[in-house]
Structure 1
Amino acid sequence: MTDLPQELRLVTAIPGPKSQALAARKAAAVADGVGTTLSVYAAAAGGGVVVDVDGNSLIDLGSGIAVTTVGNSAPRVVDAVTAQVAAFTHTCFMVTPYDGYVEVAEALNRLTPGDHEKRTALFNSGAEAVENAVKIARAHTKRQAVVAFDHAYHGRTNLTMALTAKSMPYKSGFGPFAPETYRVPASYPYRDGGVSGPEAARTAIDLIEKQVGAGNLAAVIIEPIQGEGGFVEPAPGFLPALVAWCRENGVVFIADEVQTGFARTGDLFACDHEGIVPDLIVTAKGIAGGLPLSAVTGTAEIMNAAHVGGLGGTYGGNPLACAAALAAIETIEADGLVARAREIGELALGRLRKAQESDPRIGDVRGRGGMVAVELVKDAAGTPDPELTKQVAAAAHLRGVIVLTCGTYGNVLRLLPPLSISDELLTTGLEVLESVLAETRA
């Protein structure tokens, strides 16, 4: 466990003078396109706090965008990486391989949904893994088209920008994008007017059949709970209907669990909630406790479709990241973090839904486990309120609570606390958020 005091502590204004000095250096050295959510500069982090260079201790409800799920500098991760860095830092698995890569692949083959024979390939980022999943699907099916969904986010590379729905800030001005990508409606229960999961799936499938054609389609890719699009959990039955149609038509079903994977949602993978078994599953973020690693895992036949040398990369499955991943997986299993995520979800959703009862601006409170969203609206018709969302997030930041925003309409507050956070610290963070909401209503 971290030695950092698990407390909200503000000793300067946010940002403090040292952070302000670093922000000035950043402005002079770093491209303007690289933005920051808070202008505080981290000096240490662990448990449920981030300590900045001015000595402020902030409550972390962001986990570096769902990365430090096991906690920042988790002890097993620190020990494993320290031992590995002393042994060797890199050889390139494609040149002189090492056991860490194989062990991570074995673990993912064991843990991901389904008990069929699987294979895994390791990469660096979620976007890179998504691109490789599409490559593998195309190699297997000998087809080209790929279908993604409204509100989707799959990355910032050329192909993954094409798959991503939201223009600003992810796509605007960066085209043209990769061809043979198509978009269909997703299930968004808060805004669907009571449409059931199977009905929403039928709408999407009808469009696929008419506008793409099953015989041209290599893959359907979807986040089981959409992340940047607003933490949108589809209505029950939506995902199973898509999987069934894909199986009937020889289409590869790709689950993008970059943000939802590794205990985040109160299941080891979000697909587990409805018993979904994807053909390919993409993982990253929480996989390695903060080190850059991603993976594609799936049915052996599909994964083996790519020719020898067709998958890989200089840094993919770096030995330090592999050591961290094995330690993160051990931490999830040994510390019961799947169950802990459910406890966090019950606490957060319970408090936020109580706040919703007296605040009509809270249009929806949703989520599973440690993946919780508050959608803010202007009226009973659900008109999105991105201005209020920015205001609430900024005020929470000034009070030392790290919260993030998301959503196609920019009107969703998202909470992604590390699963190592205590109930007491999480409650304090939620109290700050509740007070900010109350004050903005006055």
Structure 2
Amino acid sequence: MEQHEFIGLENQFGAHNYKPLDVVLSRGKGVWVWDVDGKKYLDCLAAYSAVNQGHCHPKIMQAMVAQAEKLTLTSRAFRNDQLGPFYKELCELTNSHRVLPMNSGAEAVETAIKTVRKWGYTVKGVAEDQAEIIVCDNNFHGRTISIVSFSTDESARAGFGPFTPGFKNIPFGDATALESAITDNTVAFLVEPIQGEAGVMIPPEGYLKKVREICDRRNIVLILDEIQTGLGRTGKLLTEEYEGIESDLTIIGKALSGG
């Protein structure tokens, strides 16, 4: 089949929720990918960080094949010989106390929202159904209905209301705005260390350190969404390391999967 035929099949049978480039890729190796006509491209996107290690990395392929030949899936109804060692390695890698694996970055963000709301009600003493989470303008944390509820990108919101309440937006990089926005019902501040979809927006130097101090003093949870910035994308394992802080909840995503 030729490229236009593959594109035609997508357009005919697939929901039109995305507008990709009209290049049909068929294989990859390292940083290179090839289309169905054999044309070679340098992959500077890395599947939005999912293949930071490159396409078809031999160690990753070897591990995938070895596991596929032993056991496919157990579900969480049973224990298996991989989950415990994975937890331990990830905790040691990220200096975390506990981890919870999810299927996607958006699902991880949703889980963080649920976690801090429940903490607010059961530990902090916020009145039931009154918890607030502070977020930043021009954020990107996913496309689920709760997450687009606090997006300021109207193209991500149009036609999807009514939206989930309980979120308050402030300007990105403004620690004073964070301080002013906190109320007795505030349970958390959710922020990207560097905004991605907004245009790779780097906050002022010292911002994360100020945010950490404010969250400690005002008794709210600091959630850092490092799905795009984490796992080496900025030169350090986690972006928080640049200012010597630790979040209360760190969200990492597709870059951990190796594709």
* Structure-1 separation of matches of 2:194 and 2:81: 33
Closer, same or farther: CA 50–253 of 1 in aligned 2, 3 Å: same
Contact 1:50–1:60 at 8 Å: present in 2 too?
Answer: yes
Quote the offset at 1:119 in angstroms.
Answer: 0.7
Contact between 1:46 and 1:73, CA under 8 Å: does it hold in 2?
A: yes
CA contact (8 A) 1:47 1:72 kept: yes
2:135 is the counterpart of 1:148: yes
* Aligned equivalents of 1:84, 1:73: Cα separation in 2: 16
Q: 1:40 aligns with which of 23, 26, 33?
A: 23
| Amino acid aligned to 1:283 | I
Compute the displacement of 1:104 (Å).
2.2
Question: Which residue of the partner structure matches residue 321 of structure 1?
Answer: none
Name the residue aligned to 2:189.
220
Deviation at 1:34, TM superposition (A): 3.1
Q: How does 1:54-65 map to 2 (within 5 A)?
A: 54-65=37-48
1:184 aligned onto 2:170:
yes
With normalisation by structure 2, the TM-score equals 0.93
Where structure 2 has 5 or more consecutive residues not aligned to the other structure, the ranges are: none
Output the CA distance in 1 between the equivalents of 2:141 and 2:112.
12
Aligned partners of 1:131 and 1:160 also within 8 Å? yes
Partner of 1:134: 113
Q: Who is 2:92 aligned against?
A: 110
Q: Provide the C-alpha distance between the structure 2 equivalents of 1:242 and 1:125, rounded to a whole number of angstroms.
A: 26
* Contact 1:255 1:282 (C-alpha < 8 Å) held by counterparts: yes
Residue 237 of structure 1, aligned match among 193, 206, 210: 206
- Return the alpha-carbon distance in structure 1 between the equivalents of residues 87 and 157 of structure 2: 32
Match of 1:86 in 2: 69
What corresponds to 2:11 in structure 1? Answer: 27
CA RMSD across the alignment: 1.4
Q: Partners in 1 of 2:87 and 2:22 — Cα distance?
A: 38
- Total equivalences in the alignment: 251
Equivalent residue, structure 2, for 1:174 = 160
Give the superposition deviation at 1:108.
2.0
- Rounded to whole Å, the distance in 2 between the matches of 1:27 and 1:257 is 33
Does residue 201 (structure 1) correspond to residue 175 (structure 2)? The answer is yes
Q: Distance in 2 between matches of 1:106 and 1:225?
A: 28
AA aligned to 1:30 is: G
Aligned partner of residue 266 in structure 1, secondary structure: coil
Identity of aligned residues (%): 31
Inter-partner Cα distance in structure 1 for 2:152 and 2:140: 6
- Alignment map for 1:263-282 (pairs within 5 Å): 263-282=232-251
Give the aligned residue type for 1:55. Answer: G
Q: Retained in 2: the 8 A contact 1:141–1:250?
A: no
CA deviations on 1:153-212 (whole Å, 9 max, x unpaired) are 0001111112333122x222112221101100112xxxxxxxxxxxx3113322x13xxx
- Indicate whether 1:96 and 2:90 are aligned: no
1:80-111 superposed Cα distances (whole Å, 9 cap, x missing partner)? 1101111111110x201213222222122112
Contact 1:224 1:271 in 2 (8 A): yes
Do the aligned residues in 2 keep the contact of 1:20 with 1:40 (CA within 8 Å)? Answer: no
Equivalent-residue separation in structure 2 for 1:52 and 1:266 (angstroms): 30
Whole-angstrom CA distance in 2 between matches of 1:83 and 1:68: 20
Name the SS for the 2:204 alignment partner.
Answer: coil
Tell me, in whole angstroms, the C-alpha distance in 2 between the residues paired with 1:44 and 1:67: 16
Using the alignment, how far apart are the partners of 2:87 and 2:170 within structure 1? 33
Q: Please give the alpha-carbon distance, in whole angstroms, between the structure 2 residues aligned to 1:145 and 1:103.
A: 36
3-state SS in 1 of match to 2:2: helix
**1:72 maps to what in 2?**
55
Deviations 1:350-392 (A, max 9, x none): xxxxxxxxxxxxxxxxxxxxxxxxxxxxxxxxxxxxxxxxxxx
CA separation in 1, counterparts of 2:105 and 2:55?
19
Deviation per CA, 1:115-140: give whole Å up to 9, x if none.
Answer: xx611111010000001011111122
TM normalised by structure 1 equals 0.55
Secondary structure, aligned partner of 2:22: coil
Q: Secondary structure at the match of 1:178?
A: coil
TM alignment of 1:290-309, pairs within 5 A = 290=259
Unaligned 5+ segments in structure 1 are 1-16, 188-199, 291-442
1:153, 1:163 within 8 Å by CA — same for their partners in 2?
no
Runs of 4+ in structure 1 off by over 6 angstroms are none
Relative contact order, higher structure (CA 8 A, sep 6+): 1
